[in-house]
Amino acid sequence: MGKSLLVVGWDAATRAHLSGDLDLPFFNSLSASDTLLPEPIWQNREVDSGTAWTTITTGLSMWDHRVATLTGMVEHPNVLRAFSKFDTLIPRNLFGVPARIWARKHILGKQPTNDDIRYKRVWHYLPNSLSFAVPLTYPPKPTDGVTVSGFPSPSVTVQPDQLEKAVQQRYDGEPRRTHDSNGGFDESYTEDLFSVHKQEVETVCWLDGQTEFQFYFVVFTLLDRLLHVVDRGDEDIERAYKRLDTSTRTLIDQIDPDDVLILSDHGMRYAPRGKWRHIHDEKQGIWAGTTDFGLETHLDVTPTILDYYGVSMDDPTYDAETVVENTDEIEDRLSNLGYL
């Protein structure tokens, strides 16, 4: 296990943006990069971050882990398969309404939490791992490392719990969207996003100073949250990419990993609709690394990481007792960001 790998999720990082003229010294120095597609069923559908990050971190298909979206589980697979035979005929945008997503929601089941995911995440296979702010990791399950819960956690929750207070003193969790008097998004929300992102970087560095990890899986949602609310060409888009680049460099300077892998769960495209300005583009996700990881789809990520460490993906099941609290607050956070 002697090697160390840092995986950084640049949630919503978009191939078309990164192929342009952005000045990103670290990203542009990476020796390998390519498109990262979702699993086949989502390759011509607007992939949701819930199913994307769950597939990425388990190595299992949606049909196994059953997370279809942040707001719905697959409870009747045959119904969803039948729906998927014609759902692409439903417009993604029908007079400002996400018609296809709306229709699909009505055949899905309960809103998922980490308690519903009865499988190992990649960090459960590897000792001394840090999982930080990965979506759908509330409530966090025990490992012999550290897990800091990700969106839509009602509050920052940490496993082991003796670290929780210290982490909460440093990291506020994702900010809520704020609105101006006209109902638009207040500029303070953008600054809140950048401020909390700074906390995330500092907290990961602090945690690394407390414990010697061998594997790190960190997700930054700054870019996703920003692109959902700003118009095409907004100057803060370039600012966000540059911040992700420098933040990743900061983590590398602190951690000194043997290799680095950057992932995005999807890209974005400008298509104003409902509460969002940019929407998910399933064909524009990316991966990039200090070595050629050879990834093609979300399904490849966990097996490839385990192979990097010489670990086999044996029995993937993992059923730990956890307690889900504040489900109303989870729904409130999803609603605030436009998922409900």
- pLDDT at 88 (0 to 100): 81
Residue 88 lies in a domain: no
Give me the domain span that covers residue 242: 5-69+118-336
Q: Which one-letter amino acid corresponds to residue 229?
A: V
Phi, psi for 282 (deg, rounded to 5) = -70, -15
The share of the chain scoring above pLDDT 90, in percent, equals 77
Q: Is the pLDDT of residue 336 over 90?
A: no
Query: How are strands ordered across the β-sheet holding 286-289?
Result: 32-35, 286-289, 259-263, 5-10, 215-220, 129-134, 146-149, 158-159
- pLDDT at 306 (0 to 100): 98
Residues 104-128 as b/e (b if ≥16 CB within 10 A, e otherwise) read beebbeebbbbebbebbbbbbbbeb
Spatial separation of the C-alpha atoms in residues 304 and 310, rounded to whole Å: 10
CATH number at residue 32: 3.40.720.10
Across residues 298-325, what is the average pLDDT? 89
Residue 94 lies in a domain: no
Number of domains in the chain: 1
Provide the 8-state DSSP code for 10.
E
Residue 329 lies in a domain: yes
Residue 214 lies in a domain: yes
If one compares 340 and 186, the residue with the highest pLDDT of the two is 186
Residue 76 lies in a domain: no
| Predicted TM-score (pTM) of this structure | 0.94
Residue 93 lies in a domain: no
Residue 186 lies in a domain: yes
Across residues 108-133, what is the average pLDDT? 95
Q: Which one-letter amino acid corresponds to residue 53?
A: W
Q: Is the pLDDT of residue 99 over 80?
A: no
Q: Is the pLDDT of residue 125 over 80?
A: yes
Residue 101's pLDDT band (boundaries 50, 70, 90)?
confident
Spatial separation of the C-alpha atoms in residues 17 and 310, rounded to whole Å: 34
pLDDT digits (tens, 9 = 90+) for 258-295: 999 999 999 999 999 877 899 999 999 999 999 999 99
Residue 228 lies in a domain: yes
Q: Is the pLDDT of residue 23 over 70?
A: yes
- pLDDT at 256 (0 to 100): 97
Residue 325's pLDDT band (boundaries 50, 70, 90)?
low
pLDDT digits (tens, 9 = 90+) for 36-87: 999 999 999 999 999 999 999 999 999 999 999 998 999 999 999 998 888 7
